Amino acid sequence: MTHIVRTKQLTRAYKGKEVVSNVNLNIKQGEIYGMLGPNGAGKTTVMKMITNLVKPTAGEIEVFGERLTDKSYRQLGRMGTIIETPVFYDKLTARDNLDLHCEYMGYHNKKSIDEALELVNLKGIDNKSVKDFSLGMKQRLGIARAIVTKPELLILDEPINGLDPLGIKELRELFKMLGKEYGITMLISSHILGEIELIADTVAVMNNGKLLQEVSMEHIAKQTTEYIEITTGESNKAAYVLEHYLQISNVRVTDEGQIRIYDSNIPQSEIMKTLVMHDVTIESVHKKKGSLEDYFLSILNGGGIVA
Ligand SMILES: Nc1ncnc2c1ncn2[C@@H]1O[C@H](COP(=O)(O)OP(=O)(O)OP(=O)(O)O)[C@@H](O)[C@H]1O
């Protein structure tokens, strides 16, 4: 597995107080990696360290397989970033801003300016000066600037801030397309669970400067599938009966002693009948679905996985 970014025990302190503590991120090639956490969790600081805007107090960063140092200009040239609110030359047009950026980055394929403007839906208004742009238009121009040099890694700090629902949807599709068509790896932060959920392949949950969990959406999907929950005073016996007489292998007993049966094709009535036949007393049976929100809240509240 090729990793585009890896951090090891990454730490940053301001005046002795750690705002990022021992963070280990593993961002794989081609994936959308979502960093989720409330305001102040340390997401921006992590991104600033990966882009060399802030120096770590301790720990290491590896980008494109090489350790990041003060002289990693080549690695930085392979990244496109928006960190905090993008700043432009207000009196210049959108096109001129992108043109200047290409000059500055030493990127001479000017055809990509048209492509970038087209991708973010600013093609018709690229000759307007940026001072007349709405917040959403500036945000899209920021993304155009981040992708104009065809980076291999995009780092986007809260890219949907200030966008209306349609704009958010367009960006979501753009990110997915950039991943799929151009193979660009993306690190995207957000404090909105619903957003990260819709685009990310892997999610890092941060709070108070700490990485609470790094988990694939595939794994989360398994945790949030439908299950049958049986309340009984005899959970171990019930689990035994289900496994031995119905060959149900995906049975879990929760801390509260409830039985959960995941992805079973056996009808609920059959399960009940078998338990009763083996003298298991049942208090209640419910069909349930774990929500993604429960899952993340349990992580943020210091619990493990919603069992
Ligand atoms: N230059 C700085 N000096 C002192 N404290 C800082 C500095 N930069 C960030 N912090 C503090 O570090 C903590 C993490 O900030 P950071 O911006 O990384 O969080 P975040 O998760 O990106 O949240 P937000 O979305 O609000 O920016 C905050 O408590 C912030 O006040």
Per-residue pLDDT of the chain (307 residues; tens, 9 = 90+): 689 999 999 999 999 999 999 999 999 999 999 999 988 999 999 999 999 999 999 999 999 999 999 999 889 989 999 888 788 999 999 999 999 999 988 888 889 999 999 988 898 887 889 999 988 888 889 999 999 998 999 999 998 887 888 888 888 998 999 999 889 999 999 988 888 888 999 999 999 999 999 999 988 887 777 889 999 999 999 999 999 999 888 888 887 888 988 767 888 889 999 999 999 999 999 888 777 777 777 777 665 433 3
- The counts of H helices and E strands in the chain are 11, 15
Q: Whose CA is nearest to atom 25 of ligand 1?
A: 39
Which ligand 1 atom minimizes the distance to the CA of 45?
A: 18
In whole angstroms, what is the distance from residue 153 CA to residue 29 CA? 9
Residue of 44, 48, 54, 81 with the most ligand 1 atoms within 8 Å of its CB, for mutation: 44
Closest residue (by CA) to atom 5 of ligand 1?
14
Could you tell me the pTM of the whole model? 0.80
Which residue has a Cα nearest atom 3 of ligand 1?
A: 14
Let me know: does 126 contact 158? Beta carbons within 8 Å: no
Q: 230 alpha carbon to ligand 1 midpoint, in Å? A: 45
* pLDDT at 266 (0 to 100): 86
Question: Residue 250: what pLDDT?
Answer: 80
* pLDDT score at 94: 94
| Alpha-carbon span 187 to 32, nearest angstrom | 6
Q: How far apart are the CA of 125 and the centre of ligand 1, in A?
A: 35
Task: Quote the pLDDT of residue 184.
Answer: 94
CATH superfamily of 3-217: P-loop containing nucleotide triphosphate hydrolases (3.40.50.300)
Distance from the CA of 96 to the center of ligand 1, in angstroms?
A: 32
Provide the ipTM.
0.94
Q: What is the pLDDT of residue 279?
A: 94
Instruction: List Cα–Cα distances, 74 to 65, 80, 145, 151, 263, in angstroms.
Output: 12, 12, 18, 12, 48
**CATH 3.40.50.300 domain span(s) along the chain:** 3-217
Fold of 225-289: Alpha-Beta Plaits (3.30.70)
Query: Residue 20 Cα, ligand 1 centroid: separation in angstroms?
Result: 9
Quote the CA–CA distance of 49 and 7 in Å, as a whole number: 10
d(CA 122, CA 136): 11
Ligand 1, residue 47: give the atom nearest the CA: 18
Q: Where in the chain is the domain with CATH 3.30.70.100?
A: 225-289
Q: Which amino acid is at 208?
A: N
- From 7, 10, 11, 14, the mutation candidate for ligand 1 (largest count of ligand atoms within 8 A of CB) is 14
| Ligand 1 probe mutation, 10, 19, 84, most atoms within 8 A of CB | 19
pLDDT of residue 305: 39
